[in-house]
Amino acid sequence: MRLHRFLLTLLLALTWVVVALAAEPGDTSALKPPKGSKVAIVVFEDLQCPDCARAAPLLEEAARTYKIPVVRHDFPLPKHNWSYEAAILARYFDTQSKKLGNDFRDKVFEHQSEITPDSLRSFAEKFASEHKVDLPFAVDPQGKLADEIKRDRDLGQRIGLDHTPTIYVVSSRTTGKPFVEVVDRSQLFQMIDDMKRE
């Protein structure tokens, strides 16, 4: 009976260790604000993800309110049939200006339910025309933009991401915990306040 209780206790302890290890993110060295910023929001997003579309306006509002940057990483999920191509297009607009790339992402989020694999290109052409930018037939002939997306995806995988959006409030401090994941978005402003205070 004692051996049974001991084994059960040992099994429970091992289960807690496995759960704790699974909850800890992997390589978090990249979770830092851009140079010159003390606090920032870092988000890994998929342009076809409905929850990413819901989160984007809140992140922009927080950035405006606190005058902090939002660092966006492309993390297109394999289950979405046009998100990867949309990320390539967003990266193309980034080459014109980072603001234009982010404006494209926001426009995609606003019209997400109307976009299909067949309509994405015409959606991007209309956006380009409205912003007086040429959209070439071959947007990424050398695959450089695809490489940037792959780097973002690899980074997300090293951190241990499994969903989008994954949002962090990050700081430049070197002691304590320099980042925190935003699980409950209603707490975002409080988390930024806390990070700025520490």
124-137: pLDDT as tens digits: 999 999 999 999 99
Q: Find residue 181's DSSP bridge partners.
A: 168
pLDDT interval class at 20 (50, 70, 90): very low
Q: Which residue has the higher pLDDT, 34 or 17?
A: 34
What mean pLDDT comes out for the span 18-24?
A: 38
Q: H helices of 41-187, where?
A: 50-66, 83-96, 98-110, 120-130, 144-159
Instruction: Note the pLDDT of residue 13.
Output: 36
Provide Rg for the chain, Cα atoms: 20
| CA-based torsion, 108, 71, 59, 31: positive or negative | positive
Neighbours of 83 (CB within 10 A): 25
Instruction: Please give the Cα distance from 66 to 171 (Å, whole number).
Output: 13
Query: Residues 153-187: pLDDT tens digits?
Result: 999 999 999 899 999 999 998 777 899 999 999 99
User: Can you give the pTM of this predicted structure?
Assistant: 0.83
pLDDT interval class at 97 (50, 70, 90): very high
Q: What CATH class has 39-197?
A: alpha beta
What is the torsion angle, in degrees rounded to the nearest 10, for the CA atoms of residue 108, residue 135, residue 75 and residue 104? Answer: -30
What mean pLDDT comes out for the span 26-48?
A: 90
The structural domains of the chain, with segments of one domain joined by +, span 39-197
pLDDT interval class at 23 (50, 70, 90): very low
Instruction: Note the pLDDT of residue 29.
Output: 74
Phi, psi of 142 (to 5 degrees): -95, -5
Mean pLDDT of the chain: 88
CB distance 85 to 51 below 8 Å = no
Phi, psi of 70 (to 5 degrees): -110, 120
Residue closest to 71 by CA, chosen among 165, 191, 162? 165
pLDDT interval class at 92 (50, 70, 90): very high
User: What is the identity of the amino acid at 83?
Assistant: S
Q: Which long-range contacts (CB under 8 A, 24 or more apart) does 17-21 make?
A: none
What mean pLDDT comes out for the span 139-151?
A: 97
What mean pLDDT comes out for the span 84-98?
A: 98
What mean pLDDT comes out for the span 83-99?
A: 97
CA 189 → CA 56, 60, 87, 182, distances in Å?
A: 14, 12, 28, 10
